[in-house]
A and B are shown apart, each in its own frame.
Chain A
Amino acid sequence: MTRAPRKTAVRADDVATYVILAATVVFCLVPVLWALVTSLKVESGVVAYPPRWWPDPVTLESYRLVFQSNMPRYYLNSFVVAVLTLAATLAAGSLGGYAAARFDFRGKKLVLFLLLMTIMIPGIVVLVPLYLMANQVGLQDTYLGLVLVYAGWQVPTAIWLMRGFFESIPRDLEEAALIDGCTPFQAFVRVILPLTRPGLAAASMVVFIWVWNEFIIALTLTSSDQMRLVPVGLYLYVSSFGVEWGPLMAAVCVALLPVIGLFVVLQRQFVEGLTSGGTKG
Chain B
Amino acid sequence: MFAMAGAQRAHNQWVARLIRELGQQLRGRPCDVYPSDMRVHVEATGLYTYPDVSVACGDQQFRFQPDTLLNPVLIIEVLSPPTEAYDRGRKFEQYQSMESLREYLLVASD
Physical interaction between A and B? no
A interface residue numbers (CB < 8 A to B): none
